[in-house]
Structure 1
Amino acid sequence: MTVKASVDAVIVSYRSARTLRESVGPLAAVPGAHVVVVDNASDDDSLATIADLAVDAVRAPRNGGFAYGCNLGIARGEAPYVLLLNPDAVLSAADLDVLVGVLEREPHVGLVAPRIMDADGHLVASRRRFPGVATAWGQALMLHRLIPRTDELLHGGGDLASEPDWVSGSCMLVRREVLERIGGLDEGFFLYSEDTDVCRRIRDEGLTIRYEPRATATHAGGASAPRQDLLPALARSRVRYARLHASPASAALQIAAIAVGEATHAVARAGRGYARGHLAALLAVLRAEDAARGLGPPRTDPGWR
Structure 2
Amino acid sequence: MHISIITVNYNSSHHTINMVESIRKMTASSLTYEIIIVDNASEPEQYDLLLSLQSFSDITIIRSRINGGFAWGNMLGVQHAMGDYYLFLNNDTLFQNDVLTLFYNYAQTNKDVGLLGGHLSNKDGSRTSSYKKFPSLLSNLLGNSLARLLTPQDFPSNKTVLNVPTEVSVVSGSCMFFRRDCFDKIGGFDTVFFLYCEEEDISKRVWDSGLKVMYLPDAHILHLEGASTTRNLAIEKEFYISYILLLNKHFPLWKVAMLKSLQLIKLLRRSFRSTHYFCLFLFVLRGAPIKESLRYKQSIKI
TM-score computed with the length of structure 2 as normaliser: 0.83
Moved more, 84-93 or 94-103: 84-93
Q: Does 1:208 align with 2:207?
A: no
Q: What is the CA-CA distance between 1:18 and the residue it aligns to? A: 4.0
Mapped partners of 1:166, 1:263: distance in 2: 28
In structure 1, the residue corresponding to 2:107 is in which secondary structure?
A: helix
Q: Is the 8 A contact 2:92 2:223 kept in 1?
A: yes
In structure 2, the residue corresponding to 1:113 is in which secondary structure?
A: strand
Q: Does 1:258 align with 2:263?
A: yes
Q: What is the CA-CA distance between 1:152 and the residue it aligns to? A: 9.3
Tell me what 2:232 maps to. 228
Mapped partners of 2:241, 2:173: distance in 1: 18
Moved over 4 A (4+): 28-31, 150-153, 289-292
Q: 1:102 to 1:226 in 2, by over 3 A?
A: farther
Moved more, 107-116 or 256-265: 256-265
Q: Does 1:77 align with 2:86?
A: no
Q: Does 1:42 align with 2:47?
A: no
Q: Is the 8 A contact 1:116 1:222 kept in 2?
A: no
Q: CA offsets, 1:138-171, max 9 Å, x none?
A: 5xxxx55x64639995212233321011111111
Tell me what 1:245 maps to. 250
Q: Does 1:16 align with 2:15?
A: no
Mapped partners of 1:73, 1:197: distance in 2: 19
Q: What is the CA-CA distance between 1:130 and the residue it aligns to? A: 1.1
Tell me what 2:98 maps to. 94
Mapped partners of 1:155, 1:194: distance in 2: 21
Q: Is the 8 A contact 2:117 2:130 kept in 1?
A: no
Q: What is the CA-CA distance between 1:207 and the residue it aligns to? A: 0.4
Q: 1:86 to 1:265 in 2, by over 3 A?
A: farther
Mapped partners of 1:119, 1:222: distance in 2: 12
Tell me what 2:22 maps to. 26
Q: What is the CA-CA distance between 1:35 and the residue it aligns to? A: 0.2
Q: Is the 8 A contact 1:20 1:46 kept in 2?
A: no
Aligned equivalent of 1:6, options 2, 11, 17: 2
Tell me what 1:104 maps to. 108
In structure 1, the residue corresponding to 2:13 is in which secondary structure?
A: coil
Q: CA offsets, 1:189-212, max 9 Å, x none?
A: 101100110000011000000100
Aligned equivalent of 1:267, options 257, 265, 272: 272
Q: Which amino acid aligns with 2:266?
A: G
Tell me what 2:281 maps to. 282
Q: Which consecutive unaligned segments of at least 5 residues does structure 2 have? A: 150-154, 292-302
Q: Does 1:122 align with 2:121?
A: no
Q: 1:291 to 1:57 in 2, by over 3 A?
A: closer
User: CA-atom RMSD, angstroms?
Assistant: 2.7
Mapped partners of 1:52, 1:289: distance in 2: 41
Mapped partners of 2:194, 2:10: distance in 1: 13
Q: Which consecutive unaligned segments of at least 5 residues does structure 1 have? A: 293-305
Q: 1:103 to 1:222 in 2, by over 3 A?
A: farther
Q: Is the 8 A contact 1:11 1:36 kept in 2?
A: yes
TM-score computed with the length of structure 1 as normaliser: 0.82
Mapped partners of 2:196, 2:231: distance in 1: 12
Q: What is the CA-CA distance between 1:221 and the residue it aligns to? A: 1.0
Q: Which amino acid aligns with 1:35?
A: I
Mapped partners of 1:64, 1:284: distance in 2: 22
Mapped partners of 1:280, 1:33: distance in 2: 46
Q: 1:24 to 1:175 in 2, by over 3 A?
A: same
Mapped partners of 2:270, 2:39: distance in 1: 33
Q: Which amino acid aligns with 2:281?
A: L
Q: 1:291 to 1:113 in 2, by over 3 A?
A: closer
